[in-house]
Structure 1
Amino acid sequence: MKILVGLISLIAVLLVALAGPLYKFGMIELATAFAGFKFGVFAGIAALVLLVIQLLFKRNTASVGSALISAVLAITAIAIPVSMMSTAKKVPPIHDISTDLANPPTFVAIAPLRADAPNPAAYAGAETAEQQRKAYPDLKTLHYNQSQPELIEATKQAVENLGWELVNIDVDSGIVEATDTTAWFGFKDDVVVRVTDNDSARLVDIRSKSRVGGSDLGKNAARIGTFINELDSVLAE
């Protein structure tokens, strides 16, 4: 019984933990990876049920160590997908976030890189903008006193500090484009930063968009927030 519980617990956590890397390296499709999450949860629940049965009716076959390890593995397998589902319910099912909803920065050099992506480079539209306004009301155009070249250079430094892949810098257009690859699944999310000279101030807008997926689980909005903090930190040096 102890071996069975331990084995099912291990299988459960592996189904969840390996889903990302297997997709990242092209060994499985995204749908298969998410199926792994589902079966991981089922296996985790089964492991906990069997563990309870073991502790109630076959206590002599269990040890504190094995029971604890099995419980931790099973709970982990359940907790990760459940946490992601909980997050998905709290944020809008969108994947294109911009500080300027009336005139979002456009992808230029990155556009060809997204040619085969399920989510096109074009802005997602008015419905997405409305959902963003309700969910992330604080994301707005930023105003800086530094010159456009200074802000472009600071943006480049912030991108490098964050470990993103720098794709394009166009000083004349005030555009910086980069790609952020997530660690677990290897999702590629693209970012474009636009610096506009507005007489007494420079306006900075950031747009972040996922290449795949309907909902980004709030990742793009969080990414923009992280970038703003990093940019301010670079400018303060």
Structure 2
Amino acid sequence: MVILEPYARGGRWPAGLAALSVLLLGLAALLMGGAGPAYRLDLLDLGQALGLLRQGAYVAIAAAGTAVLALCVAAWYRRPRPALIGGLVLVMVATLLVVPLQHLQRAQAVPPIHDITTDLDDPPAFIALVAPREAAPNAVGYPRAFAAQQRRAYPDLAPRIVDASKPRILLTAETMMRERGWEIARVDDTTLEATASTTWFGFKDDVVLRLTESDAGVRVDMRSASRLGRSDLGTNALRIQEFLDALERQLLRNG
């Protein structure tokens, strides 16, 4: 006859539920974490990769539910270790889902556009990147229908006037782009084209930086456009704002 010790109250249920929650958490992490690399390596198309990501999210929710159940059962039977495991699984599920939830929140907060520019009247044009953009779903030229939506969503996005020479601005901008891992496609006296790739899925966004002489100094315009997707989730506007802010700081720092 086997007599259960106090720490084994409830039999195998508390430990079993905790173990199942860990197993589901691992599966969710595998599905969600592997979706991006699988797409980048052409193992899955975009629809399949997003489906894998969605399935991973469902499994993560199942892991959270199992962890809550394990936590409750373990608390009822005073089993601290399964309770601790259930609590840790809940924390890990929250960590796993925070990025997709942030993307979902951003998608609801920004307009469904994917081409952003600081010059809505005369957007910088792609030249060296025409071919890869023509091979992609999104347009080469700036969609004029985006202008009104951009004005409403990003009213502070504007060109910068910089007190520096064009060669110095271009050299500084090119150096900064290379440091960010962007692939330079073209540099001439007034224009710089490059391609930035997102970390997880490797989505490619094309960038143009254009310099124009003005009475106050050199006007710096920038355009960032995604090759794929109806909405960029605000990525291109954020990229332009962050890059131009950093460019101004770097030029001031180097005096």
The question of a shared fold, defined as TM-score above 0.5 by the shorter chain, is answered with yes
- Structure 1 residues 200 and 81, CA gap change in structure 2 (3 angstroms): closer
2:88 is equivalent to residue 72 of structure 1: no
Q: Which amino acid aligns with 1:87?
A: R
The Cα offsets for residues 52-105 of structure 1, whole Å up to 9 and x where unpaired, read as 223334655762442233223332343332221111111111110000001000
What is the Cα deviation at residue 145 of structure 1? 2.8
Q: Which runs of 5+ in 1 are unaligned?
A: none
Partner of 2:152: 134
Distance 2:70 2:173 in 1: 58
**What does 1:176-195 correspond to in 2, within 5 Å?**
176-195=192-211
Identity across the alignment (%): 38
Partner of 1:3: 19
Tell me whether 6-15 or 205-214 shows the greater mean CA deviation.
6-15
Q: Which amino acid aligns with 1:95?
A: H
Q: Which runs of 5+ in 2 are unaligned?
A: 1-15
Distance 2:50 2:24 in 1: 19
2:118 is equivalent to residue 102 of structure 1: no
Tell me whether 127-136 or 14-23 shows the greater mean CA deviation.
14-23
TM-score, with length taken from structure 2: 0.84
Secondary structure at 1:139's aligned position in 2?
coil
Contact 1:97–1:132 under 8 Å retained in 2: yes
Number of corresponding residues: 234
Contact 1:12–1:73 under 8 Å retained in 2: no
2:112 is equivalent to residue 83 of structure 1: no
Which of 35, 46, 51 is the matching residue for 1:19?
A: 35
What is the Cα deviation at residue 182 of structure 1? 1.2
Which of 72, 78, 82 is the matching residue for 1:56?
A: 72
Cα root mean square deviation, aligned: 1.9
- Structure 1 residues 77 and 149, CA gap change in structure 2 (3 angstroms): closer
What is the Cα deviation at residue 170 of structure 1? 1.4
2:148 is equivalent to residue 144 of structure 1: no
Secondary structure at 2:139's aligned position in 1?
coil
Tell me whether 139-148 or 55-64 shows the greater mean CA deviation.
55-64
Contact 2:70–2:83 under 8 Å retained in 1: no
